[in-house]
Each structure stands twice: as structure tokens, then as C-alpha cells.
Amino acid sequence: METDSFETEIAMPAHVKFSQKGLMVESAKLSGDNMYMGYIPVMFEKDAEGVFVADMYLASCTQKDMRWKLTLNTVNTEGVLEEWHFVFDAPR
């Protein structure tokens, strides 16, 4: 079987900056929105400018266009938890 003709994962950088001060990313995961594929943990780190950055790895798919959902769980300075959802398309 020839494996050089397709990629099994596609690296995609993610940069998130909140307008609300004091929010921290507690956890994050990437999942398929139009197809169940489980989920992939995403590890965000805060840079010197206050932007949360991570590399997400999109799994290959049989669909021509795959729709993904990034879920961020944040906590503010008062300890209130919030869940954020970002849906985006990625070509095969």
C-alpha cells in the first residue's frame, strides 16, 4: 500500500485572544461537527502578549469537506466557568 499519497494529520495553528480580561483556557478539545470522530485534546499556552496559542492536528477524513468544532473551557477571575464553541471547515 502506498502511503505517500495522503497525510494522516494536518497541523493547524490556533490563536485565541479574549476581549474580556482575566479569562484563562482551562481545557480545549477538537471534534468533528459533521461526523463523529471522538475528540482530540488541544493544549493552549498563553504567550507574552496574552494570546492563547496551540497547534491543532486535524485527522484525515473521507469527506470532501470536514466541519470541525473547537471547544474551549475557560475560567474567569471569579472562578466562573464558560464553554465556547468555534465551528470551521477544512478541506481534505
Window from 23-27, 33-37, 54-58, 79-83 with minimum mean pLDDT: 33-37
Check: pTM over 0.95? Answer yes or no: no
Q: Which whole-number Å values give the CA distances from 80 to 5, 14, 39, 59, in the listed order?
A: 47, 24, 24, 32
pLDDT at residue number 1: 45
- 10-48 pLDDT per residue, tens: 788 999 999 988 999 999 999 988 888 889 999 999 999
pLDDT at residue number 7: 56
Domains of the chain plus CATH, in order, are 9-91 (2.60.40.1220)
